[in-house]
């Protein structure tokens, strides 16, 4: 029993040593004496890389929040925008609208009315890393300008110092206002080239021409002037006029497993085939010589 165990262990060790060598011999093609190993064939791998074309088209949008706001509050507007799409990253934009405000103070009964066009210019930057997708997360800036006329009217009020009372009605007061905006927004693709998106805007008045008789209470495109800053927002329907994202393809370089030109490899394979045919012919000649010697020996 002890000898049998020793025999089994010895056989297992010998097989463990022989099998890897046998496998290695099968992976490596045998090389006959006088032959040279065939070179590794040239393998060309080309990688297609997609790049966005610089000009991706136009985008039209309309704000649906501002008209609804006018139905439920004192101020609203009708606004649209046209912007360029550069590599789906940079979006120079022009916004234009017509704002309207009509309000009356509950306590003083002073009324204020204004309606005028306004405009903004600026740029949005897509902050998402993947520029190939249609959704966008962007930061932007705007410069706004509005030249408008406004009306202020109020009932008779008693002067606390000089006494007396008189109603006032001032119409056609003119003013020009400049302001700046910081924009944060999101756009989501709904269907093909149709998007929907919203934005939040931080606005700050730069300057406005002052009227000695009354200060404007609301500026079209900006909002109320109660404080130095103003917050606003939009909810827009967006249409991309590029009808499909434009891409270009750029080929990468070749990757060689061994720096051997294809022509040399083909020539080497041709030479190997010719050598094989010559060797077989030599063997046939030797066989014929052996047959002639045998016949001569039999005749003797």
| Domains with residue ranges and CATH for the chain | 54-147+176-249 (2.40.160.20)
d(C-alpha 147, C-alpha 228), whole Å: 19
Q: Which tokens go with 76?
A: 């609203």
- H helices present in the chain, as ranges: 2-27, 65-72, 262-299
Burial class of residue 57 in the structure, from the number of CB atoms within 10 Å of its CB (0-12 exposed, 13-18 middle, 19+ buried): middle
- Could you tell me which residues are beta bridge partners of residue 113? 102, 151
Render pLDDT for 91-144 as a digit per residue (tens, 0 to 9): 999 999 999 999 888 788 889 999 999 999 999 999 999 988 889 999 999 999
Q: Give Rg (Cα) of the chain.
A: 44
The residue to which tokens 């800053």 are assigned: 229
Closest Cα to residue 142, out of 190, 209, 185, 94? Answer: 94
Render pLDDT for 41-96 as a digit per residue (tens, 0 to 9): 555 554 556 788 888 899 999 999 999 988 888 899 999 999 999 999 999 999 99
Asked whether the beta carbons of 177 and 207 are under 8 A apart, the reply is yes
d(C-alpha 52, C-alpha 263), whole Å: 37
Res. 156: pLDDT tops 90: no
Structure letter (DSSP) for residue 243: S
- Tell me the pairing of strands 90-104 and 75-86: antiparallel
- Tell me the pairing of strands 55-63 and 111-126: unpaired
pTM: 0.64
Render pLDDT for 227-272 as a digit per residue (tens, 0 to 9): 878 999 999 999 988 766 777 766 554 444 444 455 554 555 565 5
């Amino acid at each position: 029993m002890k000898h049998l165990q020793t025999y089994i262990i010895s056989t297992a060790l010998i097989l463990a040593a022989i099998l890897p060598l046998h496998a290695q011999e099968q992976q490596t093609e045998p090389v006959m004496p006088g032959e040279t190993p065939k070179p590794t064939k040239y393998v060309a791998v080309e990688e297609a890389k997609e790049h966005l074309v610089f000009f991706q088209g136009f985008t039209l949008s309309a704000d649906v929040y501002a008209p609804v706001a006018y139905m439920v509050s004192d101020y609203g507007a009708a606004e649209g925008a046209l912007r360029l799409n550069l590599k789906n990253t940079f979006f120079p934009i022009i916004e234009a609208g017509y704002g309207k405000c009509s309000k009356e103070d509950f306590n003083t009964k002073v009324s204020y009315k204004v309606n005028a066009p306004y405009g903004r210019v600026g740029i949005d930057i897509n902050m998402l890393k993947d520029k190939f997708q249609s959704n966008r997360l962007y930061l932007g800036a705007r410069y706004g300008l509005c030249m408008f006329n406004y009306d202020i009217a109020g009932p008779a009020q008693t002067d606390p110092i000089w006494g007396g009372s008189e109603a006032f009605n001032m119409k056609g007061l003119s003013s020009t206002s400049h302001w700046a905006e910081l924009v944060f927004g999101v756009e989501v693709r709904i269907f093909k080239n149709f998007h929907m998106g919203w934005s939040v805007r931080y606005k700050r008045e730069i300057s406005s021409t002052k009227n000695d008789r009354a200060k404007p209470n609301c500026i079209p495109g900006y909002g109320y002037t109660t404080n130095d800053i103003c917050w606003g927002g939009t909810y827009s329907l967006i249409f991309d006029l590029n009808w499909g994202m434009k891409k270009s393809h750029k080929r990468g370089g070749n990757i060689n497993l061994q720096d051997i030109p294809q022509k040399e490899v083909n020539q080497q394979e041709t030479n190997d085939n010719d050598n094989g045919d010559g060797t077989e012919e030599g063997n046939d000649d030797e066989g014929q010589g052996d047959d002639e010697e045998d016949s001569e020996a039999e005749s003797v």
